[in-house]
Structure 1
Amino acid sequence: MSLPDGFLDELRTRLSIAQVVGRKVIWDPRKSNQGKGDMWAPCPFHQEKSASFHVDDQKGYYYCFGCHAKGDAISFVRETENVGFMEAVQILAGEAGMPMPQRDPEAQKKADRRTQLADVMEQAVQFFRLSLKTGPASEARDYLVGRGFNDTSLERWEIGFAPDGWQNLWDHLTAKGVSPDMMMDCGLAKPSSKGGKPYDTFRNRIMFPIRDGLGRAIAFGGRAMDPNDNAKYLNSPETVLFDKGRNLYNQKPAREAAGKGGDLIVAEGYMDVIALSEAGFGATVAPLGTAITEDQLRLMWRIAREPIIALDGDTAGMRAAMRVIDTALPMLEAGQSVRFALMPEGMDPDDLVKGQGPGAMQALLDQAIPMVQLLWRRETEGKVFDSPERKAALDKALRAKIQEIKDPSIRSHYGEEIKSLRWELFRQNRGGTAKSTYQPRGKWQPQGVPMASTKASVLGAGAAAEDHLRESVILATLISNPAILGQFESALERMICASSEHEAIRHALLRHVGDQPEVLRGNLVGELGPDTLEKLMSQSHVAITPAVRRAGDTEIAAACVAEELDKLGAKRGHAREIADAVEDLSGIADEGVTWRLSQAANAINGTGRGAQEDKTEFETGENGAKMKKDERSKFDALLDQIGFGKGDA
């Protein structure tokens, strides 16, 4: 079976080879750089312990420095699944959501025709370039010089000119033997509605060739010289060669520049791309007259894992940014997102670079804001939240957007970030009207970390000590029972640690999720040093914890970690509620404050149960885990030691 020309290119564009390979290997977190698509793992084709198998997600290939296996996503599936070429293509096409083409005996003829159409497009590129040097193009040349072009940049970008007239290109290509239907299929000519000869699509316009990822000319963009023209910019119609929603202007050069370490910048138009590239930002692309599509986002992520959307500083630019958010949210993955660099009001990237220089543009790129902050800005900027109903409406709108995120880990992190932003907004406006005055945030105070005044109190010190004990048990249990580490990965990511030592251990555990039990502790010692782990494991309340003493019993370990995480999270949540209510007491005391304090107290009483109730639950456990009587007596002693006597909160 022959595949249509372009089918395999489209398949490779839609797929991430790192995702395809990632199902068969465990990435080495020390060597891999997910943000750049530079991934390393032990080779799946031969037995080894070191990570010599390299995947370049941006270029779409793999190579093993040990056994020298190499190829792309298709060859990887062929080798690992032991299937033929067409079967591998079919497997990957199913993952990419692409229907397999039907058997087509004319496929070769179609492929030949695409090649012929591309040849016609190259002839058109040359015609337009030559036309720019003629007398009728003098006004166009003056315009280009005024925009900063010189002979070198005109050649580099292959800028041309479509003369004013109905059949200039038509007559030129006809004289070279190009058939009328080929010109029509290329989108270079249109049929006459009056029954006359077809006429040129582009007339009296500066011409920008549009090339695909392989460098083939597939379309044109034309800038009108007549100020009264209805369309200032005009793109080729969609053809066999050109699908405007699946291509990007300057795609191939931008991919090469991004591969050398440049940030991928997404601008709005041709002139922005050219201005930025000439100023040193070579990894710049633009959509082709449409809002950014899902396919274009996939293309961007193949080039760079976190492209920066640089939009004009006007209302239209902001609307375009908001459309990007709606398109991108369901597609987010770990290490794969977008950031936004918003231009000063009334300026585009071309204006900024030429008016203030490349340094001003670089400063905006360095301050590019994450998508979650722009989402918050859209839902809050200029709005007043002076009633419970308006606050509830905000919560509902944000929840609906966050639910669109398919990746549960990213969805959780978005939720936490939105909580922080919401907390800050309403905390700053206590006693008055909550009106959003959005500004990009710096480093936020982590949730659950007590204020300085609270830390200084006896209550704060006791709370911190209790938190430290619970964190120690959680971390030690996970180290002793690495088989359950993946089960609690998301919860561990969200856990705020009370000390820098615990924070370091938490980060190290997250980096080694998936390690074999026999190598986990060695990796942790290598990163943290032997003293850190010895200090953690030698604490008396850790040493007598059943889940640590009986390492390998995953039932007890899972029950212990779940219990401690639940209590830790609930306690910190109640502490925030009380802090809120206490702060409100500085204003006018009313029934609302009293009710909030009572609710917080009831919740604490419900969570901080007596020692006997705690013992009974831990003995049976919600998941059926059991604890022996002699172990339970030692656990009772632990409860007494940390102050959880009967009736204590």
Structure 2
Amino acid sequence: MSLPPGFLEELRTRTSLSGVVGRKVIWDPRKSNPGRGDMWAPCPFHEEKTASFHVDDRKGFYYCFGCQAKGDAISFLRETENMEFMEAVRALASDAGMTVPENSPQERERAERRNTLTDVMEEAVRFFRRQLSGGGAAAARAYLERRGLDPAALESFEIGFAPNGRQVLQQHLAGKGISFDQMAAAGLARSPQDGRGSPYDVFRDRIIFPIRDPRGRCIAFGGRAMAADAQAKYLNSPDTDLFDKSRTLYNHGPARTASGKDHPLVVAEGYMDVIALCRAGFEGAVAPLGTAVTEHHLQMLWRMSPEPILALDGDTAGVRAAMRVIDRALPLLEAGRGLRFCLLPQGKDPDDLIRAQGRDAMQTALDSARPMIDLLWRRETEGKSFDSPDRRATLDARLQQLVGQIPDKTVQHHYRTALRDLQWQAFRPPRKTRAAFKADPKPVPSSSTRNSLLAGSDGRTEIALREAVILATVISTPEALDEVADTLAEMSFTGPDHQRILDAVLMWHMRQENDLRAQVLGAVGPQCLEKLFTQGHVAVAPAVRAPGNLEIAEMCLSEELTKLQSRAGLAHEMREAVESPQAIPADRLAWRLAKASEARNQADRSTLDDRTEYDTGANGAKLNRDEKEAFGKLLDRISFSKPKRG
């Protein structure tokens, strides 16, 4: 079937080609520029390793420099999904919130009417512009001058004036051959609802701001009342065939261009804020029109920038607006999409701040914009008391419910982790005042630990056993957590079920509810806990054999953590040497490996008397099987890479 004229053009305007293509490809971050809608990826139509497939999101076309495939969103779906033309159109229309029209005479008439309405709107723009220089607009010109708008700004933003007459615009448009029905369809005139009296102009005695779509077509107007007793200070055009306020942003087209040039994308609340921001050099400024930021607005913003900044008034209304945006954004978040919030000083909007303190003050405010998770935490905790376990549990359940709305599991995981850290910082108990915790105690090893499982284990097993000793120690003596909780919170355990146990331990320390062992038991189950404590190396550990002895527990934790950290350092050096052997000079590589091995040796001194079958290096560092093999390979590389002399 054929479609009415203009429908496909509107569909392409509302569709993000990069969003459609992005379901099939992985973008090359080195070549792609999301702000400019300039995206590159390996071609989905032929096998290749280089990113020769180019998507121009603004023009809505793709092209492969390898196989010469080209087209738009419709052709992409047809090629990759094997869809028929109308099937692809319906799929895209569904995503864009559009209804595919039937090719009826009524639809053809509607498409023609849309084209006519754009001509009507442009004639109205010219009329309002001329009126601003007339005698009846003296007060409007004075107001604009007080707001700091010079003739260049008035010209750039096409600001005009609607005279205070009931039918002034109607008479002008009628003289151009435009009917009242066309004026009404464009949102410029209307008849009284009660049917009494004559039709009237929608905009009267107002400063006029033309509203254009991304393609530059005037689709609506905004008007600022000059009369103090006007019903509405700001008035926008009603929704028409051209204008849908939930899908429109003021200054969209110029802001998209500026964002593509690496200007920050700033979302303000009104026309004057956008104009002030643009004149101060923040050209990537937009504003919603008479409505809160909608889901459609967010999608449009993310097409221009991965992390728009919402610059909201610092009053209560501004904060409430920010909170509403958070609720709309959570179900839409995915990797590469975020929001930052710039809360301005109390009672200030961007226009006020720039006129009072200048561009630098606005730049400082934007630089200090906070990520969305900070405001989410503030909303859920500010002014509330969490002095009891049930209140903290209620907060935890609420946060989990909110984060659960995020569809992207990776983003959801990072939000959960960040909120857990915020809870930890807010609710962890104050540390007890005790003698300074020694960083490197040297307890005498117990004879019962000789020839333990550590002797003869590979690196992974040894790390898992040391993790087990740490966990068993803090469960046996919970008071020892006060000194090491921060360190443990930054670690990731790798042994079987160890991370689950660690999470339960840290959650208990944050809440201080019930008994620690009971908390862990409820989180991981009796079999997991029994397995932890029945390991031979754990059962003979002094801190486990003397539960509640804080001094022994702290010494044990210090020793085990030091050993884990020294092994992590050695592993890092060895991994870097293997992955980038040519990037590090041979002598420097040997020195770094020796120092890391020496640190490991220093950490192991308390157990060096426990001889094993493994070799001891020249510096005395004891190596397990994995380390010995890897170290030998690295020494071979170092020897091989030394330049020959003479």
TM over 0.5: yes
Q: Is 2:391 the counterpart of 1:390?
A: yes
Structure 1 range deviating more: 211-220 or 597-606:
597-606
1:100 aligns with 100
> Alpha-carbon deviations, 1:518-576, whole Å to 9, x = none?
xxxxxxxxxxxxxxxxxxxxxxxxxxxxxxxxxxxxxxxxxxxxx95653413433553
> RMSD between aligned alpha carbons?
3.8
Q: How does 1:322-471 map to 2 (within 5 A)?
A: 322-427=323-428, 456=440, 469-470=459-460
1:112 aligns with 112
Return the offset for 1:377: 0.5
2:516 aligns with 596
1:576 aligns with 506
CA contact (8 A) 2:33 2:260 kept: no
Return the offset for 1:159: 0.4
Q: 1:224 to 1:72 in 2, by over 3 A?
A: same
Q: Is 2:189 the counterpart of 1:259?
A: no
AA at the equivalent of 2:22: G
CA contact (8 A) 1:187 1:236 kept: yes
Q: 1:329 to 1:283 in 2, by over 3 A?
A: same
Return the offset for 1:284: 0.6
Return the offset for 1:52: 1.4
Equivalent residue of 2:221, what SS? strand
AA at the equivalent of 1:333: E
> Alpha-carbon deviations, 1:180-239, whole Å to 9, x = none?
111111111110345332111111100001111211111110000001112100111111
Q: How does 1:570-649 map to 2 (within 5 A)?
A: 570-573=500-503, 576=506, 595-596=515-516, 599-600=519-520, 605-606=529-530, 608=532, 610=534
Q: 1:577 to 1:378 in 2, by over 3 A?
A: closer
AA at the equivalent of 2:516: R
Structure 1 range deviating more: 153-162 or 24-33:
24-33
Q: 1:172 to 1:67 in 2, by over 3 A?
A: same
2:468 aligns with none
AA at the equivalent of 1:605: L
Q: For 2:460 and 2:36, locate their aligned partners in 1 and report how far apart those are by CA, in whole Å.
A: 37
AA at the equivalent of 1:608: L
Larger radius of gyration: 2
Return the offset for 1:33: 5.8
Return the offset for 1:416: 0.8
2:480 aligns with none
Equivalent residue of 1:209, what SS? strand
Percent of aligned positions that are identical:
54
> Alpha-carbon deviations, 1:574-599, whole Å to 9, x = none?
55368669xx8xxxxxxx67x22565
CA contact (8 A) 1:272 1:350 kept: yes
AA at the equivalent of 1:572: L
Q: For 2:277 and 2:403, locate their aligned partners in 1 and report how far apart those are by CA, in whole Å.
A: 33
Q: Is 2:231 the counterpart of 1:230?
A: yes
CA contact (8 A) 1:58 1:303 kept: no
Q: For 1:408 and 1:306, locate their aligned partners in 2 and report how far apart those are by CA, in whole Å.
A: 19
Equivalent residue of 1:106, what SS? helix
Return the offset for 1:53: 1.4
Q: How does 1:98-177 map to 2 (within 5 A)?
A: 98-177=98-177
Q: How does 1:435-584 map to 2 (within 5 A)?
A: 456=440, 469-470=459-460, 564=494, 566-573=496-503, 576=506
CA contact (8 A) 1:297 1:328 kept: yes
Return the offset for 1:93: 2.9
Equivalent residue of 1:341, what SS? strand
> Alpha-carbon deviations, 1:377-425, whole Å to 9, x = none?
0011122211222212212221221122122221111111110111101
Q: 1:13 to 1:384 in 2, by over 3 A?
A: farther
Equivalent residue of 1:203, what SS? coil
AA at the equivalent of 1:402: V
Q: Unpaired segments of 5 or more residues in structure 1?
A: 432-451, 475-495, 504-562, 585-591, 615-636, 643-649
Q: Unpaired segments of 5 or more residues in structure 2?
A: 465-485, 539-612, 615-622, 625-646
1:185 aligns with 185
1:544 aligns with none
Return the offset for 1:90: 2.3
Equivalent residue of 2:428, what SS? helix
CA contact (8 A) 1:58 1:304 kept: no
> Alpha-carbon deviations, 1:293-320, whole Å to 9, x = none?
1111111111112111110111111111
Equivalent residue of 2:313, what SS? strand
CA contact (8 A) 1:132 1:160 kept: yes
> Alpha-carbon deviations, 1:262-312, whole Å to 9, x = none?
111100000000000111111111000111111111111111121111101
2:545 aligns with none
CA contact (8 A) 2:255 2:265 kept: yes
Structure 1 range deviating more: 402-411 or 600-609:
600-609
Q: 1:17 to 1:597 in 2, by over 3 A?
A: same
AA at the equivalent of 1:567: D
Q: For 1:577 and 1:315, locate their aligned partners in 2 and report how far apart those are by CA, in whole Å.
A: 34
AA at the equivalent of 2:190: K
Return the offset for 1:83: 4.2
| Matched pairs, number | 504
AA at the equivalent of 1:326: D
> Alpha-carbon deviations, 1:583-623, whole Å to 9, x = none?
x8xxxxxxx67x225655896733526469x9xxxxxxxxx
Q: For 1:183 and 1:468, locate their aligned partners in 2 and report how far apart those are by CA, in whole Å.
A: 82
1:291 aligns with 292
CA contact (8 A) 1:577 1:600 kept: no
Q: For 1:63 and 1:194, locate their aligned partners in 2 and report how far apart those are by CA, in whole Å.
A: 56
Return the offset for 1:42: 1.8
Equivalent residue of 1:218, what SS? strand
CA contact (8 A) 2:247 2:297 kept: yes
Q: For 1:472 and 1:299, locate their aligned partners in 2 and report how far apart those are by CA, in whole Å.
A: 52
CA contact (8 A) 2:42 2:49 kept: yes
Q: For 1:457 and 1:605, locate their aligned partners in 2 and report how far apart those are by CA, in whole Å.
A: 28
Return the offset for 1:366: 1.7
AA at the equivalent of 1:115: N
> Alpha-carbon deviations, 1:332-362, whole Å to 9, x = none?
1111121111111110000111111112212
1:301 aligns with 302
Q: 1:341 to 1:458 in 2, by over 3 A?
A: farther
Q: 1:367 to 1:195 in 2, by over 3 A?
A: same
AA at the equivalent of 1:263: P
Equivalent residue of 1:178, what SS? coil
2:74 aligns with 74
CA contact (8 A) 2:307 2:340 kept: yes
CA contact (8 A) 2:25 2:41 kept: yes
Q: For 2:458 and 2:209, locate their aligned partners in 1 and report how far apart those are by CA, in whole Å.
A: 63
Structure 1 range deviating more: 43-52 or 226-235:
43-52
Structure 1 range deviating more: 389-398 or 179-188:
389-398
CA contact (8 A) 2:274 2:286 kept: yes
CA contact (8 A) 2:35 2:256 kept: no
Q: For 1:97 and 1:406, locate their aligned partners in 2 and report how far apart those are by CA, in whole Å.
A: 20
Return the offset for 1:20: 2.1
Q: For 1:180 and 1:468, locate their aligned partners in 2 and report how far apart those are by CA, in whole Å.
A: 87
CA contact (8 A) 2:278 2:285 kept: yes
Q: 1:580 to 1:289 in 2, by over 3 A?
A: closer
CA contact (8 A) 2:312 2:322 kept: yes
CA contact (8 A) 1:265 1:308 kept: yes
